[in-house]
Amino acid sequence: MIDPVVDMQWVLEHRDRIKLADVRWYLDGRSGREAYEKGHLPGAVFVDLDRWLARHASPADGRHPLPDPELFAEGMAAAGIGDEDTVIGYDDAGGVIAARLVWMLRATGHDAALLDGGLTSYEGKLVSGPTSPAPAVFTPRPWPGDRLAGIDDAAAGAAVVLDARDSARFRGDTEPVDPRPGHIPGARSLPCRDNLRADGRFLPIPELRERFASVGVREGADVISYCGSGVTACHNLLAMEHAGLGKGRLYPGSWSQYSATDRPAATGD
């Protein structure tokens, strides 16, 4: 399996053997599809996070619970992504959204990676308008239990639990979308956007390893990653794997599920 992060040079060298997937999505309600149609990488298909990478939101399951494998397979097939394809996902936010697709593919045994730097790493002319990819064959595969964590796992305190949201949301200073402010007691703040340099590319691996070590993550550690709804948490998992620290587990319900319960919440640093 390829590394979870590849650069534009790698993409250009393998262009005929990969599928590019644009996974733009915005918490503020802007349309990812509209952004895609205004300008995307040549040959890229749009993958709708809300339609194909999650099932319907509910207080019991959170805002972006994992979809049924059959729904995910339907979305991949419709996007022209087949069982044997290598997929490179990107967005315009350093990969923090596209990480969800890449993690889902890798977790089910498919070759997939984030494009380091995302949309801004491409120096050529973008392509506008919609695309109509030829349908492919994508076989549903169950979500592997060893790559997932539930609410009880995240609350138990046995694993290193990482919160990928920004620091203000972790502390409980603000909470724009979920029922309560704060974080899971015992969780450690590791904002996923800080995995990146100012240009949107990943920090060098030694710096990533140091960053994870600062919150108790070393090679072989049992790690659970969460965020608001299980999307940007995937960025920390891919960064961790990229740094050679193992794969960790995703808590898909994340804070949107946890905060809808009466379980205790922590605030502050």
Strand order in the sheet with 188-189: 188-189, 160-163, 223-226, 249-250
Residue 83 CA, distance from chain mean position? 20
Indicate the SS3 state at residue 223: strand
Does an H or E element contain 36, and which? helix 32-38
Catalytic residue annotation: 227
Strands (E), the chain: 5-6, 18-22, 45-46, 86-90, 112-115, 160-163, 188-189, 223-226, 249-250
- C-alpha angle 212-213-215 in degrees, rounded to nearest 5: 75
Q: At what angle do helices 98-107 and 233-242 cross, to 10 degrees?
A: 60
**Closest-CA residue to 229 (of 157, 155, 165):** 165
